[in-house]
Chains A and B, each alone.
Chain A
Amino acid sequence: MSTHRAAALLARYAAGGATLGEIAGMHTGLSVPGAAASLNWLAELTPIARVLVLGPGAAVALRAAGLAVPPLLGVTVTADISVAQIAPGQYLASAAAASAQSLPAFERSLAVLVLPVEYAEFALGGPAITGLIAEICTADATAPSASGWFATQICGLDAALVRDARGWRVLCAPAEAPWLGGVLLDLVESQRGGLIGYNDYLAQT
């Protein structure tokens, strides 16, 4: 039985011969043999610490913490901390992938709720990924407006898409992550791709 916090794809990492380890207190795959050669790839970034900052004072709290406040469905990055306004007045602050744990201390008040929250996150990259995303997403994820926090359905599940320099990131609730992560990995593997570890992802340029 599990005595530790585990990433959704831990079993797939282990089966693939990955080096396992802890990121921010969660066991996950750190590096996978042959990751650098993967044309299309998927990495699990679930261990990244996140909080939801919400309430009438949320924007003030973000600014006080030195973070830029994004518009609705927008994403800002300040000192590697990303903030997405996922709903009116609701901000999802995520630590940088490199540090995984370092979130600023937010000033608490009756007007602000800082709520620990978990999201499963899968990063995907490679030449086939955009086409794959188009296949599994209910909306036109390739449209110019598909930037920022793109709430949609992925493989029939409510999920969010975020684009970054490395490719795409899919975020979903952790209860759906084992299933969704498995489906995404199967699809990536069908495109001559594979799983890469957390550290492999950081090494991507």
Chain B
Amino acid sequence: MTARRLPPREGEWIDRSRELEFQFEGQRYGAYGGDTISSALLAGGRRILGRSFKYHRPRGVLSFANHDANVLLETTTRINIRGDVEPVVAGERYRAVNTLGGVDRDRGNWLEALSAFLPAGFYYKTFYRPAVLFPLWERLIRRLSGLGRINENFPTTRGVTRRSTCESLVIGGGAAGLAAAQALAAAGKQVVLVDEHPHLGGSLCGAQMDAEPARWCAEKIAALAQYPNLSVLRGAFAAGYYADGTVPVIRPDGMSIVIATTVIVATGAIEQPAVFHNNDLPGVMLASAARRLVGCYGVAPCRDAVVLAGNVDAYSAALALHGNGINIVAIVDLEAADARGPLAERARAAGIRVISDSQVAAAHARAGELAAVTINAAGSAGETGGERIACDGLLMSVGWAPAAQLLAQAGGRFEFDEVVGQLRPALLPPGVFAAGRVNARHTLDDRIADGVAAAQEALAWLAGTPGAVARPPLESERRSHPLPLVEHAGRKNFVDFDEDIQIEDLRTSIREGFDSVELLKRYSTNGMGPSQGKHSNVNAARFLAHYHAKPLGAVGQTTPRPFYHPVPMGILGGPRWRSHCETPLIAAHTALEATWVEVGAWRRPRHYRARGVAHAIVEEYHAVRERCGFIDVSTLGKLEVFGPDAGALLDLVYTSRLSRAPVGVTRVVMALDQRGMISDDGIAARLGPDHYYVTAGTGHVVATCREMNQIAALCRLNVSVVDLTRHWAAINVAGPLARELLQPLTEVDLSLAAFPFPEVREGRVLGGPARLLRVGFVGEGGYEVHVPYSHAAPLWAALSAAAPRFDARPVGVDTQRLLRLEKGHPIVGLDTDGVMHPFETPLAGLVKMDKPRFMGRTACEYLQHQVTRRLIGFTTPHHDPAAPIEECHLMVDAHRIVGRVTSVGFSPILGYTVGLAVVEGEGVHATQFDIRIGGGQLVRAHRAQPPFYDPTGARLLELPA
């Protein structure tokens, strides 16, 4: 046991049977299981644990509650480890961040000598002149700034995200939270209790004057174990409050997203530091930190302590520590000690010197650590008339700020209570309740009663009879000193420890006009460090109020935003899984050595094994045009629409009138959004009087399905819409010999007379259910066969087995796109963009304006007269694989950009290049253009009316030649 380690005590958080070793800055230290890095280092006699951000001043423990960033450490695999709360890992090697040469000999401390030249906002006024030096400053500042260095070789970590729901989420496991959780659990509610510490109890876990608080705490925790409807998350913190009671709770190994019907915030209060010369020396800490070190970790923070008192809590802290063997040299009370009542008497009776109406004007260092303080009359400037007291610990207990960040994020409104000296909630949104210190109740009895009352309010809310329950009256004891700030000519009186912000920095900011609480924050950076103002916002506001001679409640407060504590990116970053869909023919495509293209979550074959890309496409192309090809189109969206109002629904969703289509017929359909812009297209097949089967774009089907269901619900239509996209598959068999290839596999009569274009049949293919559609996307006679998912592989295998007899072959996406381009069929999302309406395209004929209602109709009434762009066809003799025309190449007319290419390809059968393009302005009427291809070369193109191939459609309709 080291000199600073105290004897074992009941309820301590460490396991003395587990002894660990670790290193800090190259030196070995011992620890017990459960020790935090800071507690172990303090127990080992080390007090300089870090260096400040700006001036590289030595720093030690301040809050020991994750409310400050004094102790930020790194290892070879992690950065910015919070030493105050992070458990020691055996064998680990820790180093302080932000040092040049180590925490003991930090060469960066030369910056402190320049502090007069580095006031708040200095970077707005310097470095930019002379401009030639700016790159030098930039390199220097980048080297000096930041906390921790990212190592790209760090191991990848990813947290596990879980989700849960509950009727009541209680945040904070102190007195109020424990009381609330028990009351709710006893009433049978599903409760989740969250506390950021490894043990419940909150401030009751620190060293206490008397045994009663610890006894109550132990009994309450034991009682909670009997409730199976109560879940406890320890060592986890609520990171923020989002809409509808959604609270992400951060655990060491991930995140639990809790969705709660009611939320009780019992997060306590954050002890605030006093501001005086050298108030950041190692050895100067909050009294609550000392209590936690002693009570939970058995570590003496110092031998001889001076307690700076701004409230009665200072006296209970002093007495508790005195009872644990800490020598309390003096209690320096900022006000009259007699006003503290019995506690002051107890302190005096214990032999503690109590000094009234005094302040700590300055702290003094030896070897960088606290060695003495100077006290003088409260309100004095500097060290005038001061008495020097030797000590190695200064414990500050001057006030509290409610940990109300979550309440503010929930939309709570606050008011400043002059009696208690604290902000407290004045108005909270429905279903959100506050209890305990965050609600300005500080005595143990009041906190317990407040927790029970909050639980009763939550129960009433859950029962549908919301109403306020009487809360314990606010006490008359002021818990926070109104202005614990001392000016000093030597400055170094830090308001914000994260950013090294001193009183003078605040004064400078206000004088320069940044004199509101929000501007003051942003100009000075007070509250913008890792602690997010937990220990600095209130003091800055106090100074601002004092400067303007206003009450504290009049200056307002800044807006706290998530997260409450910093959250590692590994817990937040990215989805754990990246799913994908597979058509049932993946194995077949792979066997044919397909080259893939990603289409959303799917992969599709671009083309198959060949001597080269161009050869593959040409060979597949000729197969379709001259014989037969078959392509996997399983990624197509597929929607089943059934019910008495099926036709009515489709008439509302699409621009054409499908309710009048005969049974057994297909129709090309187009959908618009409310702006009248093209959103999707497809084929609608009428299978029965109240039954349609609709295809949609691969990337649009989810939105189209959602739109259908929304419209059906809004219009109260009697119809079911089922998305079969990933449940069924489809193969398109196209070409002059498609019928011959497919007929042996199906009982459906595929003859032209029995099954002409554009009709649909239901029947059986290879003995399984199927739907066959006559579609014309590629311009050849053919059949699109839709089957249940697992039936596609046998069908493809049968087609492949029969293919050699007809010299048929499988066809990929690249060839399919060329085939449809020759027919001039636009692809929504490729040839159209999100702001193209149908009257700018050849699809205008699909818009039936004589239909009284359809999505986008109102916009179409206007748009049909607002044609400023056109989707046109073009041809060009240019065909150079070394200098191809590509999508998005610009259309140029007389050196003006008039459009861009949307689709282009060389037609083997026509012998020239064809394409589609969007043109605007003068290009709308132009008959020829230049296309600017790679390297700036211009190629001439001529406007042409699609379809380029088989313009009469004779091949598709299988008309006699």
Using a CB–CB distance below 8 Å, which chain A residues touch chain B? 1-6, 26, 46, 52, 54-56, 87-90, 110, 113, 115-119, 134-135, 137-140, 142-143, 155-157, 173-176, 178-180, 183
Q: How far is the CB of B725 from chain A (nearest CB, A)?
A: 8
Known: A1-B588, A87-B720, A156-B578. 4 other contacts (CB 8 A): A2-B587, A4-B793, A87-B722, A113-B642
With A and B bound together, what is the CA distance between A163 and B576 in angstroms? 24
**Is A89's CB under 8 angstroms from B720's CB?**
yes
B794 near A135 with CB under 8 A, answer: no
Report chain A residues within 8 Å CB of B769.
116
Nearest CB on B from A195, distance (A): 19
How far, in whole Å, are A137 and B161 apart by their CA atoms in the complex? 9
Question: Are A118 and B583 in contact, CB atoms less than 8 angstroms apart?
Answer: no
Q: Can you list 10 A-B pairs, Cβ within 8 angstroms, ordered by A?
A: A2-B584, A2-B797, A113-B642, A117-B728, A118-B727, A155-B577, A155-B579, A174-B584, A175-B725, A178-B582
Within 8 A of A (CB), among B433-483: none
Q: Is B674 an interface residue (CB 8 A)?
A: no
* Chain B residue at minimal CB-CB distance from A55: B642
Task: Tell me which residues across on chain B come within 8 A of A157, comparing CB atoms.
Answer: 579
| Separation of A140 and B162 alpha carbons in the complex (Å) | 8
Q: Give Cα A56 to B581, complex, Å.
A: 32
Distance of A175 Cα from B634 Cα, bound (Å): 9
Binds A, one of B377-385, B414-422, B784-792, B840-848: B784-792
A173-B587 in contact given A135-B162, A183-B577 (Cβ < 8 Å): no
Instruction: Specify which chain A residues have a CB less than 8 angstroms from the CB of B576 in the assembled complex.
Output: 155-156
Give the docked Cα–Cα distance between A170 and B624 (Å). Answer: 41
Chain B: CB-nearest residue to A142: B164
A110 near B789 with CB under 8 A, answer: no
CA A184 – CA B901 in complex, angstroms?
A: 45
Other-chain contact of B793, A6, A89, A113, A117 (Cβ < 8 Å):
A6
Interface segment, one of B279-287, B688-696, B733-741 = B688-696
Asked whether B165 lies within 8 Å of A4 as measured between CB atoms, the reply is no
In the bound complex, CA of A119 to CA of B723 (Å)? 13
Which positions 146-170 of chain B face chain A at CB distance < 8 Å?
A: 160, 162-165
Also in contact, A180 and B581, with CB within 8 A (given A2-B793, A90-B722, A143-B165) = no
Interfacial residues of chain B within 580-595, with CB under 8 A of chain A in the complex? 580-584, 586-588, 591
- List, in ascending order, chain B residues with CB within 8 A of A54's CB: 640, 642, 720, 722
**B718 contacts chain A at the CB level, 8 A cutoff:** yes
Mark B residues whose CB is within 8 Å of A: 160, 162-165, 190, 259, 575-584, 586-588, 591, 602, 634, 640, 642-644, 688-691, 718, 720, 722, 724-728, 769, 788-791, 793-794, 796-798, 800
CB pair A1 B727 closer than 8 Å: no
Interchain CB contact under 8 A, B724 and A117: yes
Cα distance, A4 to B724, chains bound together (Å): 21
Is the CB–CB distance between B160 and A135 below 8 Å?
yes
Q: Are B587 and A110 in contact (CB under 8 A)?
A: no
Residues of A within 8 A of B643 (CB): 55-56
Residue in B584, B640, B689 whose beta carbon sits within 8 Å of that of A115 in the complex: B640
Complex Cα gap A183–B576 (Å): 11
Give A26 to B584 CA distance when docked, in angstroms: 13
CB distance from B715 to the nearest CB of A (A): 15
Give every chain A residue within 8 A of B689 (Cβ-Cβ): 110
CA distance A52 to B584 in the complex (A): 21
- Rounded to whole angstroms, the CA-CA distance of A61 and B640 in the bound complex is 19
Cβ-closest chain A residue relative to B723: A173
Which residues from chain B contact A46 at a C-beta distance below 8 Å?
A: 790
Residue in B closest to A87 when the chains form the complex, CB atoms: B720
Shortest CB–CB separation between residue A137 and chain B, in angstroms?
A: 7
Task: With A1-B800, A5-B793, A178-B582 as known contacts, state yes or no: A56 contacts B644, CB within 8 Å.
Answer: yes
Closest A residue to B687 by CB, please name it: A113
Partner pick for A179 among B190, B575, B582, B634, CB 8 A cutoff: B582
- With most chain B CB atoms within 10 A of its CB, the pick from A46, A54, A138, A183 is A54
Question: Would you call B720 and A4 a contact (CB within 8 A)?
Answer: no
Report Cα–Cα, A110/B663, bound state, in Å.
13
Give A86's nearest chain B residue, CB to CB: B722
Partner of A90, one of B162, B720, B788: B720
Q: A55-B720, A89-B720, A113-B640 are in contact. Are A119 and B164 (CB under 8 A)?
A: no
Q: Shortest CB–CB separation between residue A113 and chain B, in angstroms?
A: 5
- Least CB distance, A108 to chain B, in whole angstroms: 10
Kindly provide the distance from the CB of A159 to the nearest chain B CB, expressed in whole angstroms: 10
In the bound complex, what is the Cα–Cα distance between A74 and B676 (angstroms)?
40
- Which residues of chain A are near B688, meaning CB under 8 Å? 110
Chain A min CB distance to B760 (Å): 15
CB distance from B230 to the nearest CB of A (A): 14
Beyond A89-B720, A113-B640, A135-B162, whether A1 also contacts B691 by CB under 8 A is no
B572 shortest CB reach to chain A, Å = 16
Residues of A within 8 A of B794 (CB): 2-5
Knowing A118-B790, A138-B163, A140-B163, the reply to whether A176 touches B579 (Cβ < 8 A) is: yes
A119, closest chain B residue (CB)? B727
Q: Which 7 A-B pairs have the closest CB atoms?
A: A173-B726, A175-B726, A2-B793, A5-B790, A174-B789, A175-B581, A140-B164
Q: How far is the CB of B175 from chain A (nearest CB, A)?
A: 29
A156 & B582 in contact (Cβ 8 Å cutoff): no
Query: Which of B580, B602, B790, B797 has the most chain A CB atoms closer than 10 A to its own CB?
Result: B790
Alpha-carbon separation in the docked complex, A116 to B790 (Å): 12
A76 to B643, CA, bound (A): 24
A173 to chain B: closest residue by CB: B726
Chain A residues in 8 Å Cβ range of B797: 1-3
CB distance from A18 to the nearest CB of B (A): 18
User: What residues on B are CB-neighbors of A55 within 8 Å?
Assistant: 642-643, 690, 720
C-alpha spacing A175/B583, complex, angstroms = 6
| Contact present for B579 and A179 (CB under 8 Å) | yes
- Inter-chain CA distance A116–B690, complex, in Å, is 18
Decide yes or no: A56 and B577 within 8 Å by CB, A143-B164, A173-B726 being known contacts: no
Docked complex Cα distance between A178 and B790 (Å): 12
- Judge whether B720 and A2 touch: CB under 8 Å: no
Cβ A56 vs Cβ B718 within 8 A: yes
Give min CB distance, B67 to chain A, whole Å. 32
Complex contact A5–B582 (CB within 8 A): no
For residue A3, which residues in chain B have a CB less than 8 angstroms away from its CB? 793-794, 797-798
A113 touches B162 (CB 8 A): no
The smallest C-beta distance from A59 to any residue of chain B, in angstroms, reads 13
A117/B788 in contact, CB under 8 A: yes
**Bound-complex Cα distance A110 to B602 (A):** 35
In the complex, the chain A residue whose C-beta lies closest to that of B797 is A3
Complexed CA–CA distance, A4 and B794 (Å): 5
Interface centre among B579, B796, B800 (most CB of A within 10 A): B579
A56 vs B79: C-alpha distance in the bound complex, in angstroms?
61
Residues of B with C-beta under 8 A to A5:
790-791, 793-794
Q: Cβ of A113 and Cβ of B790 under 8 Å apart?
A: no
Residue picked from B640, B688, B689, most chain A C-beta under 10 Å: B640
B727→A156 contact, CB < 8 A: no
Query: Given the complex, which residues of A lie within 8 Å of B722, measured CB to CB?
Result: 52, 54, 87, 90, 115
Closest Cβ of chain A to B245, distance in Å, is 13
> Which of chain A's residues have a CB closer than 8 A to the CB of B720?
54-55, 87-90, 113
The smallest C-beta distance from B244 to any residue of chain A, in angstroms, reads 14
Smallest Cβ-Cβ distance to A54: which chain B residue: B720
Contact partners of B579 in chain A: CB under 8 A: 155-157, 176, 179-180
Q: Which of B576, B586, B602, B722 has the largest count of A CB atoms less than 10 A from its CB?
A: B722
> What residues of A have a CB within 8 angstroms of the CB of B728 in the complex?
117-118
In the complex formed, the residue of B with least CB distance to A145 is B165
What residue of chain A has the Cβ atom nearest to residue B768's Cβ? Answer: A116
Question: What A residues does B584 contact at CB under 8 A?
Answer: 2, 174-175
Q: Name which of A2, A87, A138, A173 has the most chain B CB atoms within 10 A of its CB.
A: A2
Report the Cα distance A1→B592, complex, angstroms.
9
Shortest Cβ distance from A184 into chain B, in angstroms?
Answer: 11
How many whole Å from B350's CB to the nearest CB in chain A?
Answer: 52
CB distance from A44 to the nearest CB of B (A): 12
Chain B residue numbers with a CB within 8 Å of A4 are: 793-794
